Amino acid sequence: MASSAASATGPSEEFRYPGNRLGLPEDGPGSVASWGRRVLALVIDWLVAGLVASVFAGQPMWAGGNSFSLMHSAVFFAMSAILAGLAGATIGHRLCGLRVMAVGRGTAYTGQPGLLAGLVRSLLILLVIPAVVFDRDRRGLHDLAAKTVVVRR
């Protein structure tokens, strides 16, 4: 009886650390990315998209306005979808040492997520709420819907 109580309080085989259920290592390359790196990558991507939108809009990004905000969001969406889907990392991901990987059935990784996964992932990030609701493997609803995971390079 005592042994079952002790095993109930510790981590189960299913969940020992983020990424365990996906067959990822606990630390180092290929492990699930930390929140700090992911948030920093997102901020970098948002700033890069703002700079690109500034060039197209012909006004600085701090000038704001509805038309600029829409353009900023469109540039962020396109940049994130294409780079994460086809290259496996956005500019922010690369600078922060991260990579977006596709998750196959169970624990098999299939490599690059693909453009459709990038589109789904980017659209849900723009909606914000799916990106802040996540599971034990640090996969937000955007990652779950796109069947992706963000890992360290």
CA 153 to chain centre: 13
| Helix axes 35-57 and 66-82, enclosed angle (nearest 10) | 120
Rounded alpha-carbon distances, angstroms, from residue 13 to 10, 23, 77, 112:
10, 12, 38, 28
Is residue 8, in this structure, part of any structural domain at all? Answer: no
Is residue 10, in this structure, part of any structural domain at all? Answer: no
Q: Domain total for the chain?
A: 1
**Of 18, 15, 19, the residue nearest 109 (C-alpha):** 19
Is residue 3, in this structure, part of any structural domain at all? Answer: no
Is the Cα torsion angle 112, 116, 117, 122 positive or negative in sign? positive
Is residue 12, in this structure, part of any structural domain at all? Answer: no
Cβ–Cβ under 8 Å, residues 90 and 77: no
Tell me what pLDDT residue 107 has: 56
Q: How far apart are CA 50 and CA 145, in angstroms?
A: 26
Is residue 1, in this structure, part of any structural domain at all? Answer: no
Is residue 50, in this structure, part of any structural domain at all? Answer: yes
pTM of the model: 0.86
Cβ–Cβ under 8 Å, residues 140 and 32: no
Is residue 75, in this structure, part of any structural domain at all? Answer: yes
Helix spans in 20-128 (H):
35-57, 66-82, 91-95, 115-126
- pLDDT at position 106 over 70: no
Is residue 56, in this structure, part of any structural domain at all? Answer: yes
Query: Residue-wise over 119-139: b if at least 16 C-beta within 10 A, else e?
Result: bbbbbbbeeeebbeebeebbb
Starting from the edge strand earliest in sequence, which strands make up the sheet with 148-152, in order? 109-111, 98-103, 148-152
Tens of pLDDT, residue by residue over 127-152, are 999 999 999 999 999 999 999 999 99
Tens of pLDDT, residue by residue over 7-65, are 455 555 668 999 998 889 999 999 999 999 999 999 999 999 999 999 998 888 888 77
What is the span of the domain harbouring residue 49? 27-152
